[in-house]
């Protein structure tokens, strides 16, 4: 159902536009039942091109493995679903509803071993855009780890080694195109 993005990945694919954190496919964003419905739809509409094991063939790119992961890493699920809606199935693009496509996407995520959760993957773009496809599971910092001594961050600026820790308060001063942070 999905291939290479037509015009490349969105410019801000790896960062939310407002800098806030978003959910990812590792957060259980679909249900097992939804993935099962998606498998039935995949078999009927997608398998002929993308293969039984999502390996892809001919002009149809794989929907699993390193090529798939690298191609979609960081992309919002809303963008993925919109791409599916505009281009799939190849024989009749736009013929599946957004709910059907969300179910197929849930199956693709399940086949790629992302965890199922308690809530179905939504069909609305604004809700899907709060979820990112991340090829690798992000590390979550535990409360115990967050209380450890911070690791110093060092950088050489104008021949002077500056060492700061993440817990220092800083004041930023702009000097032309340079930014100088001074601990308080």
CA dihedral 91, 94, 95, 101 (to 10 degrees): 110
pLDDT by residue for the chain (184 residues), tens digit each? 444 444 344 433 334 444 455 899 999 999 999 999 999 999 999 999 999 999 998 889 999 999 999 999 999 999 999 999 999 999 999 999 999 999 999 999 999 999 999 999 999 999 999 999 999 999 875 554 444 444 455 555 555 555 554 444 344 444 444 454 555 4
pTM for the whole structure: 0.67
Choosing among 3.30.470.20, 3.40.630.30, 1.10.760.10, 1.20.1250.20, the CATH entry for 23-132 is: 1.10.760.10
Residues of the chain with CATH 1.10.760.10: 23-132
Tell me the torsion sign for CA atoms 113, 118, 124, 127: negative
């Amino acid at each position: 159902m999905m291939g290479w993005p037509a015009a490349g990945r969105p410019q801000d694919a790896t960062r939310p536009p407002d800098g806030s954190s978003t959910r990812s496919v590792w957060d259980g964003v679909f249900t097992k039942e939804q993935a099962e419905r998606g498998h039935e739809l995949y078999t009927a509409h997608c398998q002929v091109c993308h293969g039984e094991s999502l390996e892809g063939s001919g002009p149809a790119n794989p929907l699993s493995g390193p090529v798939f992961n690298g191609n979609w890493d960081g992309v919002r699920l809303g963008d993925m679903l919109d791409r599916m809606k505009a281009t799939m199935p190849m024989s009749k693009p736009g013929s599946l509803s957004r709910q059907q496509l969300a179910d197929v996407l849930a199956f693709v995520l399940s086949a790629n071993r992302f965890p199922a959760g308690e809530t179905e993957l939504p069909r609305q773009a604004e809700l899907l855009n709060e979820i990112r496809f991340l090829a690798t599971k992000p590390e979550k910092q535990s409360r115990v780890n967050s209380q450890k001594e911070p690791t110093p961050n060092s950088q050489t600026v104008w021949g002077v080694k500056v060492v700061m820790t993440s817990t220092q308060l800083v004041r930023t001063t702009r000097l032309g195109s340079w930014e100088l942070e001074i601990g308080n």
